[in-house]
Structure 1
Amino acid sequence: MPEGHVLHRLAAAHRERFAGRPVRVDSPQGKFADAAALLNGQPLEAAEAWGKHLFLGFAPVGWVHIHLGLYGKVAFGETPVPPPVGQIRLRLANDDHWSELRGPNTCALRTDEERAAVAARLGPDPLREDADPERAWRRVSASRSAIGTLLMDQAVIAGVGNIYRAEVLFRHGVAPHRPGRELDRATWTACWEDLVALMREGVRLGRIDTVRPEHTPEATGRPPRVDDHGGEVYVYRRAGQPCLVCEGPVATAKVAARNLFWCPRCQPR
């Protein structure tokens, strides 16, 4: 599932291509056809992300709420718009650009109140200017749940997924099994600030890089990482491989149906 930086990139891409201009809207697949008919010809007035949710604002009609889930994809192109191929849930177009949404978990038209209700269920998003890390800290510091589980809870922090979860905990030497209430405030603040910086880089580069300069392939002479997710990381999907810092084996375990990765030496329990 895409992590939060991907949704912020998609919001920016929609603003760049469609903001302030009337948009042709249709649903070749048909599942969003009624809402598309209401939106067709309206200008796109806003495009923003909150965690793993994308909101496209077409006032006064409402907001298109998109959650990609595991299989959702968005593609962009320049006009002319090609004939529809496959299951296109939502297509936007103007005289210069088009976008196509396929396979989302959610694609629904929301009112202002419904959009606000979705956002209210989410924790602070490190990529948003209005993020309040204190909200997340209150949840973390009061919880017996493992910090590795809390970071994946979108009601605690919105936008953090499996990669950022594993990497930020490694970078700060925090065992993923440590209860949230055992985390001290200074460590939490450092983790939050690191997430802000790492995820902003993710928005800028379009990939997740978490390795510090002294541990890059160029600095250490090791081969670059080859992975369909791209980017240089410390522990994510490196189970059994030597830690880039201590050379001990990276561990993995299944937690809440997701693979957790950590270094037992660098992140002692």
Structure 2
Amino acid sequence: MPEGHTLHRLARQHQRRYGRKPVTVTSPQGRFVEGAASVSGRSFAKASAWGKHLFHHYDGGRIVHVHLGLYGAFTEWPVPANGIEPEAVGQVRMRIIGADYGTDLRGPTVCEVIEEPDIADVVAKLGPDPLRSDADPELAWRRISKSRRSIGALLMDQTVIAGVGNVYRSELLFRHRIDPMRPGTTISATEFDAMWTDLVALMKIGVRRGKIVVVRAEHDLGAPSYRKGRPRTYVYRRAGDPCRVCGDAIRTTELEGRNLFWCPTCQGTG
């Protein structure tokens, strides 16, 4: 599932491509026909994101709300010189066509038209987003410090912090040497502040570079070669591989329905 930096990056990209210009919106798949028609031809006012939610704002107050879920993805293509749009490939839920670029959306969990006031209802269910300038980390800290759930589970809870997925969760806890099974009530304010600051920095890098970058340079030297499909991470999807720092085998288990990765030595669980 795409993590928060991906949605913020998409918001910036869509803003550049379509901002303040009329666009054509269709639904080749046929599952978003009415919604597409209600915004097609309107000016694309702006794009914004909160956690894993993307909002396309159109003149007149209508918003297209998208949540990519596990399988959703946008693909972009340049508008041909002859102006003839390419045939839709696969199940394209929504197609946006501007003056120079087109974008196809496939497989989202949510693709709906809402009104401006409805954004507040979506956001009310979410925790602070580390990538937003208006984020209040104190809200997340209060929820964590009062909870007996594990910090590994709390970091994935979108009502606690919006935008954190499995990669950032596992990597953040490793970078701060925190046992993912520790209850939230045992996390100190100092530990939380350090994690929040690091998370903001890491997610900003993700937006800028279009990928998650978490391994410090000093730990990337002499690292074992990567098998195909394995990300450049400390622990995520590296079960059984040697830890980059201590050499112990990375472990994995299931936590609240999602795979968790950690180093038992570096994170004090051995």
Instruction: Sort the TM-score into its range (normalised by shorter chain).
Output: over 0.9
* SS of equivalent to 2:65: strand
In the alignment, is the contact (CA less than 8 A) between 2:230 and 2:238 conserved in 1?
Answer: no
Aligned to 2:246: 246
Contact 2:53 2:67 in 1 (8 A): yes
Compared CA separation, residues 190 and 99, structure 1 to 2 (3 A): same
Supply the AA of the counterpart residue of 1:149. Answer: A
Residue 64 (str. 1) matches residue 80 (str. 2): no
Partner of residue 97, structure 2: 93
> CA-atom RMSD, angstroms?
1.2
CA positional deviation for 1:38: 1.3
Residue 48 of structure 1: CA displacement? 0.8
Q: Is the 8 A contact 1:73 1:103 kept in 2?
A: yes
Determine if contact 1:140/1:156 at 8 Å carries over to the other structure: yes
Provide the rounded CA distance (Å) in 2 between the counterparts of 1:180 and 1:155.
14
2:153 is paired with a residue whose SS is helix
1:114 aligns with 2:115: no
8 Å contact kept, 2:150–2:183: yes
DSSP-derived class of the 2:21 partner: coil
2:147 pairs with 1:146: no
1:180 partner letter = G
Please state whether the residue corresponding to 1:186 is helix, strand or coil.
helix
Query: In the alignment, which residue of structure 1 is the partner of 2:164?
Result: 160
More divergent stretch after superposition (220-229 vs 145-154): 220-229
Could you list the per-position Cα deviations for residues 158-177 of structure 1 after superposition, in whole angstroms to 9, with x for gaps in the alignment? 00000000000000010000
Q: Deviations over 1:169-199 (max 9, x none)?
A: 0000100000001000000000000100111
Which deviations, in whole Å up to 9, do the C-alpha atoms of 1:93-138 show, x marking residues without a partner?
1221100001100000011121111011100011111111000000
Q: Report the counterpart of residue 54 of structure 1 in structure 2.
A: 54
Is residue 63–residue 109 contact of structure 1 (8 Å, CA) maintained in 2? yes
Identity rate of aligned residues, in percent? 52
What is the deviation of 1:221? 2.4
The CA deviation at 1:229 is 6.5
Cα deviation for residue 222 of structure 1 reads 2.9
Q: Could you tell me which amino acid in structure 1 is paired with residue 100 of structure 2?
A: D
Q: Distance in 1 between matches of 2:229 and 2:193?
A: 31
Out of 75-84 and 189-198, give the one that drifted further.
75-84
How many matched pairs?
A: 265
Establish whether residue 203 from structure 1 lines up as the match of residue 204 from structure 2. no
- For normalisation by structure 2, the TM-score amounts to 0.95
Check whether the contact 1:207–1:229 (CA below 8 A) recurs between aligned residues: no
Change (3 A) 1:73 1:57: same
8 Å contact kept, 2:94–2:104? yes
Could you list the structure 1 runs, at least 4 aligned residues long, displaced by more than 6 angstroms after superposition. none
Distance 2:206 2:169 in 1: 14
Contact 1:44 1:56 in 2 (8 A): yes
* Secondary structure of 1:98 counterpart: strand
Q: Which residue does 1:83 correspond to in 2?
A: 87
Q: Distance in 2 between matches of 1:56 and 1:227?
A: 35
Distance in 1, matches of 2:96 and 2:141, equals 39
Residue type of the alignment partner of 1:254:
E
Q: Is the 8 A contact 1:38 1:61 kept in 2?
A: no
The alpha carbon displacement at 1:223 in A equals 4.3
Match runs of 1:123-202 below 5 Å: 123-202=127-206
Cα separation, 2, equivalents of 1:12 and 1:227: 30
Moved more, 82-91 or 124-133: 82-91
Distance 1:188 1:266 in 2: 18
Gap runs ≥5 in structure 1: none
Which amino acid in structure 2 is aligned with residue 22 of structure 1?
A: P
Within 1, Cα distance between the matches of 2:68 and 2:252?
26
Cα deviation for residue 28 of structure 1 reads 1.0
CA spacing shift, 1:267–1:147, aligned 2, 3 Å: same
Structure 2 distance, partners of 1:213, 1:85, is 41
